[in-house]
Amino acid sequence: MASVRNSCQKVICIGRNYADHIAELNNVRPKQPFFFLKPPSSILVPGQGPVLRPKGVKLHYEVELGVVVGKTLRDIDAASLCKNEEEKRIMDAISDYVVAIDMTARNVQDEAKSKGLPWSIAKGFDTFLPISQRIPKALIPDPHDAFLRLSVGGQVRQADSTGLMIYRIPRVLADISRVMTLEPGDLVLTGTPKGVGEVKPGDVMKAQIEVDGKVIEEGNIEVEVQERDGPYEFKET
């Protein structure tokens, strides 16, 4: 099975797809799926680490269910999703799943947003996307009926059902496909539930996914946070 990083041309992330997470960050609920990009170079595959915190960065975790695209999707009309066969076609285009931790330089993002600037930097640092092994579709029969958990230092920080997504996966993939073609190997992150927060060097994050109360071993992530030794340091833009 090919590495997600080796086959991925783009990572598309759905923002604000869980109501309680929208509330905890005082954001506005979107009227349609809202998405942004992370570079494939941010992917941290299983067994590699640590996550590196750049100097001056307030680093936040966000656990998510990731969808690995297996077939090309382009220009899907959202109105067609009322037809069961169209939803099935979209779901059939998924090759497998992953658990992911979307790392965010929150102070970098907040400053950019306050000044009306793009915030790609806040999401794009190397190591800012730890992912699990690929999870076969058969192990997650319904991706809207699974349970995500993330703990830091043994304390559970995020724990919620994927059934709380505001926009379900067929709608998300359809909306993305009308803007940019989804190609085999692309990774789509479906949003994070409430409980996001800060991690610091020395913290160990663990993430997992459960179906019917059973942990899926392929979906486990365990990764430490360390300080990044490099020339970048956050400064006001």
Q: Tens-digit pLDDT profile for the chain (237 aa)?
A: 467 888 899 999 999 999 889 888 888 888 999 999 999 999 999 989 899 999 999 999 999 999 999 999 999 987 777 667 788 899 999 999 999 999 999 999 999 999 999 999 999 999 999 999 999 999 999 999 999 999 999 999 999 999 999 999 999 999 999 999 999 999 999 999 999 999 999 999 999 999 999 999 999 999 999 999 999 999 999
* 233 in a structural domain: no
* 179 in a structural domain: yes
Q: Which two tokens stand for residue 142?
A: 């319904």
* 235 in a structural domain: no
Residues 78/175, Cβ–Cβ less than 8 Å: yes
Please compute Rg for the chain using Cα positions. Answer: 17
pLDDT score, position 41: 96
Domain hosting residue 50, numbered range: 4-227
Measured in whole angstroms, the distance separating CA 12 from the mean position of its chain's CA atoms is: 8
* 127 in a structural domain: yes
* 234 in a structural domain: no
* 29 in a structural domain: yes
Residues 209/33, Cβ–Cβ less than 8 Å: no
pLDDT score, position 37: 97
User: How far apart (Å, rounded) are the C-alpha atoms in residues 197 and 25?
Assistant: 10
Count of structural domains, the chain: 1
State the CATH number of the domain containing residue 105.
3.90.850.10
The amino acid at 70: G
pLDDT score, position 2: 60
Question: What is the pairing mode between strands 221-227 and 51-53?
Answer: parallel
* 161 in a structural domain: yes
* 39 in a structural domain: yes
Query: Distances in Å between the alpha carbon of 172 and those of 12, 80, 90?
Result: 10, 13, 10
Residues 186/11, Cβ–Cβ less than 8 Å: yes
Q: Which two tokens stand for residue 71?
A: 């077939």
pLDDT score, position 30: 86
pTM of the model as a whole? 0.95
The amino acid at 48: Q
